[in-house]
Amino acid sequence: MTSLSELCSWLSVHPEAFDEGATYVVDLRGRLRLAPRRSEHVACADGEEVLAAGEIRFRLNGGPPAVAEVSNLSTGYCPDVTCWAAVARSLALLGLHSPSGFSVAMAFRRCLACGEVTLVKEGWFVCAFCDADLPSDWNVSSAREVGVAEG
C-alpha cells in the first residue's frame, strides 16, 4: 500500500478486516501489504523477505480507518518484537496513527536442542517439541529473517 486511498479501497473489498482483522507484512521497501486474515504471511509477501509480519485489525471512527490492534503473530516469519519500528513506519506512510506498540507481542524462539521454532506462551521458555529450555533472546533466523534487517 502506498496511500490511504489504496488502503480504503482494499478495506471496502475486505470489510472483515474491521471485525476479524487481516494478515499483514511490511515489505523490504517499507510498504504495508494486506491479505485476508486466513492467508499465509509468506503468500502475502509473495515469498519475499519482510521487515515485519503479523495480524492487524482496523476500526472506523467516522473518518478514515484507524488501527485497532496489531500483533507480530506470524508462524511463517516468526518475527521478533523489534519489528514494531517497521510496522509503525509503514502505517505512518499511509497517514495512519499507530498504537505505541504491538497490542499483543509474540515471542518466537528456535530450540538449540532440536532446531524447531516454538511460540513462547505465558513466558514459559520451554520447547514444545522436546521440552528443552529456550534462549531468552530472539534467535529465529532463516531465509526469511525479520526484525533485524530494518536498516
Q: For the chain, which residues score pLDDT lower than 70?
A: 142-151
Task: Give alpha helix (H) positions in 3-135.
Answer: 4-13, 41-44, 84-93
Q: Which long-range contacts (CB under 8 A, 24 or more apart) does 117-120 make?
A: 117/75, 117/78, 119/75
Name the residue among 96, 99, 100 with its Cα closest to residue 7: 96
* Whether 41 contacts 32, CB under 8 Å: no
- pLDDT 10s digits, 52-62: 999 999 999 88
Q: How far apart are CA 34 and CA 145, in angstroms?
A: 19
Question: For the whole model, what pTM was predicted?
Answer: 0.88
